[in-house]
Chains A and B, each alone.
Chain A
Amino acid sequence: QSVLTQAPSASGTPGQRATISCSGSSSNIGSNNVKWYQQLPGTAPKVLIYSNNQRPSGVPDRFSGSKSGTSASLAISGLQSEDEAEYYCAAWDDSLNGWVFGGGTKLTVL
């Protein structure tokens, strides 16, 4: 059971917008910023979003993040087949004194 809660799956068609949600608590998302990692099949995770809504250089602006209270969301616009991946939210947890991750959301592009 992961500390951060994500729906196990999401889907969309090419060109559509998909949204992935992440729910936490006051000790993690509520008091610290959120990161989003993308894990393509058979590869290591890669950071997509940091500080709730910032993109590292090289990440397309189709990816955007937001946070409200103890929840966060990742939005992917203009879906492409190469966006099929597992997406994980992450944050520092002040109670556990460590990073916690969501269980992951598998995005399927139909």
Chain B
Amino acid sequence: EVQLVQSGAEVKKPGESLRISCKASGYNFTNFWIAWVRQMPGKGLEWMGIIYPGDSDTRYSPSFQGQVGISADKSISTAYLQWGSLKASDTARYYCARLEYCGGDCYFPAFYFDYWGQGTLVTVSS
């Protein structure tokens, strides 16, 4: 059974750093792209970026480029989303989502997110 299990809720202060995780199981982690999606309180979904764990090829949404970092550790089938300096506006629930199989050289428009993590709530407040 495919599962994406995310790390628990975090409460941080502005300026602090943070890394949240998404542990995959039930499939070959290295062969599927993993994306991160933000959902701010009461708002819609926003795609942040995506990584191919097989070779760490990473793409970012222009809105999030330079604001967050996405990485993956193949040895423990885990993807990460990290911030160097959090802002109050980073308060949101963050989801990881697996892109259905398309290989490393993927034509992204044709594919969809077939499995999602349960989400990690990040609260940034002084």
Residues of A within 8 A of B (CB): 2, 32-33, 35, 37, 43-47, 50-51, 56, 88, 90-92, 94, 96-104
Distance of A90 Cα from B114 Cα, bound (Å) = 13
Interface residues of chain B, those whose CB is within 8 Å of chain A, are 35, 37, 43-47, 59, 61-62, 95, 97, 108-110, 112-114, 116-119
CB neighbours of A97 from chain B (8 A): 59, 62
- Contact in complex: B117, A101 (CB < 8 Å): no
Q: Please name all residues of chain B whose beta carbon is closer than 8 Å to the beta carbon of A99 when the two chains form the complex.
A: 35, 47, 108
Given contacts A44-B119, A96-B62, A98-B62, whether A88 and B44 have CB atoms under 8 Å apart is: yes
Closest to A102 in B: B44
Closest B residue to A88 using CB positions:
B45
In this complex, what residue of A is CB-closest to B60? A98
The contact of B117 among A35, A44, A90, A100, by CB within 8 Å, is A44
In the complex the two chains form, what is the Cα distance from A39 to B35 in whole Å?
17
Closest to A50 in B: B112
Asked if B116 and A100 make an inter-chain contact with CB atoms under 8 angstroms apart, the answer reads no
Q: For residue B91, give the distance in angstroms from its CB to the closest CB of chain A.
A: 18
Beyond A44-B117, A92-B108, A104-B45, 4 additional contacts (C-beta under 8 Å) are A37-B45, A44-B95, A97-B62, A98-B59
**Which chain A residues border B46 with CB–CB below 8 Å?**
101
Q: Which residues of A contact B112 (CB under 8 A)?
A: 35, 47, 50, 90
Task: Please tell me which one of the listed residues B47, B109, B114, B119 contacts residue A101 in the complex, with CB atoms under 8 A apart.
Answer: B47
**CB-nearest residue of chain A to B93:** A44
B45 CB contact (under 8 Å) in A45, A46, A47, A50:
A45
Q: Is the CB of A101 within 8 A of B61?
A: no
A59–B47 alpha-carbon span in the complex (Å): 24
A46 touching B116 by the CB < 8 A rule?
yes
* Chain A neighbourhood of B110, CB < 8 A: 33, 51
**B61–chain A nearest beta-carbon distance, Å:** 5
Note all chain A residues with C-beta closer than 8 A to B45.
37, 45, 88, 90, 101, 104
Q: Is B59's CB under 8 angstroms from A101's CB?
A: no
**Which residues of chain A have C-beta atoms less than 8 A from B108's C-beta?**
92, 99
Which listed residue (B109, B114, B117, B118) contacts A33, Cβ 8 A? B109
